[in-house]
């Protein structure tokens, strides 16, 4: 089943009306950034601060270590990241997905892995040390 939704440009697109992934008490946090920008450290800091119940899902771990593939637009890691994130959310874990996650390859897939996630409050952006933040 699909439904139509409007976009910023006023165009409409089809969106799957499949059940949402995750539970009402789980969250997906996506940390994107350049190489060596501290994504893994931030993810680990979240786990250190909040304790158990947080699954850290690293793009490089899945892509390089598990699948040993190059970062391509049709890489198997893209779907696998979505499946692992969805299953962890459904199992009651908060998920921290971290990686470079190029928007042209992962943009629509990483934020909504396969099925739409439960609606969440608007996300906030972390201040950038290079843009006068922190």
Provide the residue count of the chain.
Answer: 134
What is the model's pLDDT at position 129? 47
For 37, the enclosing helix (H) or strand (E) is none
- Which tokens is 79 given? 């779907």
List the beta bridge partners of residue 95.
28, 55
- Which tokens is 40 given? 């893994």
Cα–Cα distance for residue pair 95/46, rounded to 1 Å: 10
- Cα torsion for 116, 118, 122, 124, to the nearest 10°? -80
Name the pLDDT band for 124 (thresholds 50, 70, 90): very low
**pTM of the complete model:** 0.64
Report the first-to-last Cα separation within the chain, whole angstroms: 45
Cβ distance 118 to 20 under 8 Å? yes
Q: Which residues contact 21 (CB under 8 A, 6 or more apart)?
A: 85, 86, 89, 90, 113, 114, 115, 116, 117, 118
Chain segment 84-119, per-residue pLDDT in tens: 999 999 999 999 999 888 777 766 544 444 444 444
């Amino acid at each position: 089943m699909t439904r139509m939704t409007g976009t910023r440009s006023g165009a409409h697109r089809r969106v799957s009306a499949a059940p949402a992934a995750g539970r009402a008490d789980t969250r997906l946090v996506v940390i994107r950034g350049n190489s060596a920008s501290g994504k893994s450290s931030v993810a680990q800091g979240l786990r250190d601060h909040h304790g158990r119940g947080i699954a850290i899902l690293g793009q490089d771990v899945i892509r390089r270590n598990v699948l040993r593939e190059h970062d391509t637009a049709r890489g198997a890691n893209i779907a696998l990241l979505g499946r692992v994130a969805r299953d962890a959310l459904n199992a009651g874990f908060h998920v921290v997905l971290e990686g470079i996650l190029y928007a042209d390859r992962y943009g629509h897939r990483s934020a909504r892995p396969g099925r739409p996630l439960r609606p969440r409050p608007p996300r906030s952006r972390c201040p950038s040390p290079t843009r006068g933040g922190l």
